Structure 1
Amino acid sequence: MDLLSIIGVLLGLFAIIGGSIAKGSGLAALWNLAAFIIVIVGTIAATFVNNRPVAFFHGMRIFPWIFLPPLLDFESMLARVVEWSQVSRKDGLLGLETLSEEETDPFIRKGLQLLVDGAEPQMLRKVMEADLDNSAAFDMQGAKVFESMGIYSPTLGIIGAVMGLMAVMQNLSEPSKLGPGIAAAFVATIYGIGFANLLLLPAANKLKSLIQARVDYQTMVLEGLVSIAEGENPRSIENKLSGFIQN
């Protein structure tokens, strides 16, 4: 669990709600149904138009990574790669067949199976790099869903504020309604800018960093498998891959 993300979201809520209370506006001033519809529904609508359905739903699937990131234990993976190299030197590449059948990670399982099948190092690299690149590109499309939402949200907030001010202008003959009307109009701006800068854009950037970390992790696995296919000794493989370890 990523405590930093959870603390960040809670602090963001505290900043908005606490700030409103400290300014004397109260909680009620932050709620406006019309502003909510314009900003939230409008942002979702624009996101639907901007993204392919498969990319949008993939973005929703990987959103929990912000709070529960994929487990990427580089040191443990390095130890496993060294173990595979030792098995291959002792029992040959066919000795990895049982390990490949027991592997739950599709990327690793495919790499081990290619080793067992006797794939040449160059072919193994080509196949695995294609899988890695395609997976990373698809994940990045999911992250960009939230990036696009963060771009549209403030604009929809401005539209909501303008629409609110238009409603106020229609009631100039009733001065008592001007103050509350203007305040309600700017709630839309708070929604738009607040959601964009406290949740959507940070979420997109967090997902991109997690995707890059997984790319580094899979690249380490790839380099290890290619080294095994090339017949390098375990110590040499360990020294080569140790640079991938993230502190």
Structure 2
Amino acid sequence: MDMMTIVGFVLGGAVVAWGAYSSGVAGNIFNSHGIVIVLGGTLAATIINTSYRRFVTGLKALAAIFSSPKMPSVHEAVRMLVGMAETAQKQGGIMALTSVDASFANGFLKRAVGVAMVSAESRETRAILEEEIRLRRLDISEDSNLYRTAGVLSPMFGLIGTLFGIIQTLSNISDPTAIGRSMAVAITSALFGIGFSNMFCVPVANKIRLRAMEETLVLQLILEGVIDIMSGKTPHLIDMHLRGYLTLDGGSAAKGK
């Protein structure tokens, strides 16, 4: 489980709940009309903005941010590639790497080694793998954009709910008792729209984007490692080359020693 995501949502919900109760508006904040307008309108508009496939992958991406990343860490990738370099050095080059873990990095390591085996030049291998990384990053970015779009739309539907409340207020302006209820509907609709955007849509979009950046870092590291093995570099030199990625992963090079 990704504790940062879970703790963030729990903490955010607790802060909002505390604010509602401490200000004495907790009993008056529920507004079914506003909730339906914001959630229903945002969902409908988001569906219009995307395809069925993208909508499904977006839901899968949402579920994935609550679990630990499936990609290996940079440290694990460095150790794997250095070990592969040692095997290649002892057994006659990259053609000896026929038993690569097919599940490592969602299959990208095996794919990279396969491309290196059939490519005549490292430049050709780099071009093929860089294009694959770019397409993978683009695919995940579209999942992030799905929630970013929802984050833009939900406050607008909150505003629509507010306008409905204002219209209701003006139509009942001669009845003082109805004015309060109508204004409550108007204000809470805007509150739900803003809250849904900033407590759910935007954080989810950013977390998916962060996961994409972390995945791209590991894939790029694998690409560089496979190219180094293909070029016949020593395991020690490959280790020194790849150790720079540890700092990008939020760690220090010393951790990989």
Distance in 2 (alpha carbons) for counterparts of 1:180 and 1:14? 26
Distance in 1 (alpha carbons) for counterparts of 2:106 and 2:44? 35
1:65-80 equivalences under 5 Å are: 65-71=64-70, 72-80=72-80
Look up the equivalent residue of 1:159 and give its one-letter code: I
Contact kept, 8 Å, 1:146 with 1:204, in 2: the verdict is yes
Distance in 2 (alpha carbons) for counterparts of 1:6 and 1:102? 27
Closer, same or farther: CA 98–119 of 1 in aligned 2, 3 Å: farther
Other-structure match for 1:197: 198
Distance in 2 (alpha carbons) for counterparts of 1:101 and 1:204? 30
Other-structure match for 2:110: 109
Instruction: Quote the RMSD (CA, aligned, Å).
Output: 1.7
- In the alignment, does 2:6 pair up with 1:6? yes
Other-structure match for 2:16: 16
Which stretch shifts more, 224-233 or 30-39?
A: 30-39
CA displacement at 1:75 relative to structure 2: 0.9
Look up the equivalent residue of 1:44 and give its one-letter code: L
Alpha-carbon displacement from aligned partner over 1:7-57 (angstroms, at most 9, x marks no partner) = 22112212222211111122x422222111111111111111222332222
Distance in 2 (alpha carbons) for counterparts of 1:34 and 1:233? 67
Closer, same or farther: CA 195–75 of 1 in aligned 2, 3 Å: same
CA displacement at 1:122 relative to structure 2: 1.4
Other-structure match for 2:89: 89
CA displacement at 1:126 relative to structure 2: 1.2
Look up the equivalent residue of 1:70 and give its one-letter code: P
Other-structure match for 2:126: 125
Other-structure match for 1:30: 29
CA displacement at 1:104 relative to structure 2: 7.2
Question: What is the percent sequence identity of the aligned residues?
Answer: 25
Structure 2 counterpart SS, 1:105? helix
Q: Which runs of 5+ in 1 are unaligned?
A: none
Look up the equivalent residue of 1:52 and give its one-letter code: S
Distance in 1 (alpha carbons) for counterparts of 2:177 and 2:7? 41
> TM-score, normalising length from structure 2?
0.90
Closer, same or farther: CA 179–100 of 1 in aligned 2, 3 Å: closer
- How many residues are aligned here? 246
Contact kept, 8 Å, 2:100 with 2:109, in 1: the verdict is no
Contact kept, 8 Å, 2:41 with 2:157, in 1: the verdict is yes
> TM-score, normalising length from structure 1?
0.93
Look up the equivalent residue of 2:19 and give its one-letter code: G
